[in-house]
A and B are shown apart, each in its own frame.
Chain A
Amino acid sequence: MAPEQVRSRKYTVDKKKHEAKEKAGSRDLHSKAPFSVKIPAAYLFLAPAMLAIAVFFFIPVAAAFIISFTDFDIYALSSFSNLRFIALKNYLRIFNDPLFYRALKNTFYFVIGAGPLSIAVSLGAAMLLNSPMVRLKGLFRLFYFIPVVTTLVAVAVVWRFIYHPRFGILNYLLGFLSVNPIDWLGDPDWAMPAIILMAVWKNFGYNMIIFIAGLQNIPEYLYEAAVLEGAGWWHRFKSITLPMLAPTTIFVGIITMIGYFQLFAEPYVMTQGGPLNRTLSIVQYMYEEGFRWWNMGYSAALAFVLFFIIFAAALLQLRFQKDVE
């Protein structure tokens, strides 16, 4: 998830800057002779990456779009004569498919549950570690960060056992608070919160680092002035920290959301989507339909629905960003 996170942030920040450059660049181009020696070299440098992206990214995107209008399945794999063009039927089926709505609901539950929570935890951790009182900052930062770099499948294996209703540590620890054992992954109402808890633990360190960077960019004199005016901690947080961090927060919000919409490995490893399909995510549903049952047409349509959801959500957040600015 990490590279995508930075990826999309760059995109949003850079766009304006880039548009300014574009004008300058095109002017330069016109002033030069059309057959400058520099042109072939540039194309040579670009060719490998652009070719790879065109052939193995753009063509598949187009192909997926076409496949989503067919009933490409296991029979079609064996012979193309078994392939039918079915126009919008896959999409119509999706919108009448209770399991899709289940997966959609679960995914939103996860995004809305884990997103703000993990951002809040990240911000809290960042502010703690940014406090001048704290010693050994590097060490604590390292501890908080370790879950980020570890392999998700591996930690999911461990968490599955932490959540074990009879032998898991979590219920054991909760036992001291006289909480009755909870069947975390086996109870339809607890399974998603359990996955959310794990996801927050796994991811908060990444955003924490970004927040630390953001906090360090807030000029100290603002706080000093506020202290002189007698503003309390909460007031300083509300009127200085939060507004100054707003661009960072929105950026973090977008990348976190995009990543969380693609929930897959956690439920795949920990619950296989159960119980009662209450942890089935859209990507997992897509995977099952496409690569387990080979209903590839339907699966491709699901992928596009996911794409549009992410697209819409990102647009919404960008609109929000504009309002803030």
Chain B
Amino acid sequence: MPAKKTILHLFLVITSLLTVMPFIWMISASLMADGHASVYPPRFIPDTFTTVQYESLFSRLSVAQNLFNSIFVSLLVTGVSLIFNSMAGYAFAKYRFRGKNKLFNLLLSSMIIPSQVTMLPLFLMLKYMGLINTYMAILIPGMANIFGIFLIRQYALSIPDSLIESARIDGAGDFQIYSRIILPLAKPVLVTLTIFTFMGTWNDFLWPLIALTDSSMYTLPVALSSLMREHSKDPELMMAGSVITIIPVLAVFLALQKHYIKGIMSGSIKG
């Protein structure tokens, strides 16, 4: 039995190493001088450590602006969509109104439509509104999200009606009930949704690629792919760009991983 256990753990260690190896290689190559990654046999550790790639990213290629764009846009979308979605999710859970179920079903069934379908007209709409190449162009399609509404509705359903009714008897208005009772009680699902939205926006590629035309407006993934095409002969530089793109999102995940994983799990077992 102990032998079996050792083999099992050995296997886990090796596969874990293989899984994280691309990241190790990424970091190590990003600390090499020009041309040092293009050698045979591959080097896993730089001969001499240098931060020259990072310096040229920030000084010559103004990646700081892209980093700011990514952070700003992700926070903006997360903030706005959290408000919109929680309001709508609450309404679907706790109010009765005409056409509610039809509306809800319509929303649910429209989730099968891939977002690519809307991209062309959305681009044209935003163009005529003069919003292409602005932060608004990223915010607008992310403002409300059917999945978010659904998640919050499911959670709000579990909040007992009696709490709401007693608040109403105490004279609380609709908005007070939402902000003082529902939001605090729904905190776990809001945290989960925050991480999902933040990461989703941060990692999004196709839409920012289309809607942002100016390199000073690019988010990190778009900037990185443009870097990739322009500087494909400098792998060390691109590795440094990858590291910068990944670190913030990894930090958010590591800080809140329990909520994130719980979010995936709770979504999967029973809705």
Contacts and interface: CB of A to CB of B under 8 A. Distances in A.
The answer to A–B direct touch (Cβ < 8 A) is yes
Nearest to B227: A157
A142 B97 contact: no
Contact of A296 (B84, B120, B243): B120
B187 interface: no
B186 interface: no
B64 interface: no
B169 interface: no
Contacts of A177: none
A155 B221 CA distance: 10
Given A48-B84, A133-B8, A147-B19, A58 B110 contact: yes
A161 B267 contact: no
B101 to A, nearest CB: 4
A212 B221 CA distance: 31
Interface in B184-214: 196-197, 199-200, 202-203, 205-206, 210
Interface stretch (A6-14, A92-100, A110-118, A220-228): A6-14
Contact of A49 (B84, B114, B125, B249): B84
Interface stretch (A22-30, A187-195, A236-244): A22-30
B220 interface: yes
B171 interface: no
Given A134-B8, A162-B25, A290 B250 contact: no
B200 A61 contact: no
Interface stretch (A82-90, A101-109, A260-268): A260-268
Contacts, number: 323
Contacts of A141: 261
A324 to B, nearest CB: 17
A184 interface: no
Interface residues of B, number: 109
Nearest to B106: A58
B246 A150 contact: yes
Interface string A1-40: 0111011111101110110011001101100100010110
Contacts of A140: 12, 16
A17 B108 CA distance: 13
B22 A61 contact: no
Contacts of B224: 151, 153-154, 157
B144 A53 contact: yes
B91 A45 contact: yes
Contact of B112 (A8, A9, A296, A303): A8
Contact of A210 (B96, B210, B221, B265): B265
A135 interface: yes
B67 interface: no
Contacts of A146: 19-20, 23, 250, 253
Nearest to A13: B271
A158 B264 contact: no
Contact of A10 (B123, B124, B151): B151
Contact of B40 (A9, A17, A42, A167): A167
Contacts of A128: 8, 11-12
B101 A26 contact: yes
A157 B37 contact: no
Interface string B231-271: 00001001101110110011001000100110111011111
Interface of B is mostly: helix
B92 to A, nearest CB: 8
A57 B96 CA distance: 25
A150 B150 CA distance: 25
Given A14-B271, A53-B144, A290 B120 contact: yes
18 contacts: A6-B147, A15-B105, A25-B96, A25-B100, A45-B174, A48-B83, A56-B118, A60-B118, A134-B12, A140-B16, A146-B20, A149-B260, A152-B221, A167-B39, A169-B25, A303-B119, A306-B114, A306-B117
Interface of A: 2-4, 6-11, 13-15, 17-18, 21-22, 25-26, 28-29, 32, 36, 38-39, 41-46, 48-50, 52-53, 56-61, 63-64, 67, 125, 128, 131, 133-135, 140-147, 149-155, 157-162, 164, 166-169, 172, 201, 206, 209-210, 212-214, 217, 248, 251, 258, 261-262, 264-265, 268-269, 283, 286-287, 290-291, 296, 299-300, 303-304, 306-307, 310-311, 314
Interface of B: 4-5, 8-9, 11-12, 15-16, 19-23, 25-26, 29, 37-42, 83-85, 87-88, 90-92, 95-98, 100-101, 103-105, 107-114, 116-125, 140-141, 143-151, 154, 174-175, 178, 196-197, 199-200, 202-203, 205-206, 210, 220-222, 224-225, 228, 235, 238-239, 241-243, 245-246, 249-250, 253, 257, 260-261, 263-265, 267-271
Those 9 A-B pairs whose CB atoms lie nearest each other, nearest first: A42-B95, A7-B147, A63-B121, A49-B88, A49-B144, A60-B118, A45-B91, A154-B242, A143-B16
Given A133-B5, A214-B269, A268-B205, 12 more contacts: A2-B196, A2-B200, A3-B196, A3-B200, A52-B84, A56-B118, A149-B199, A153-B221, A262-B114, A283-B116, A303-B114, A311-B112
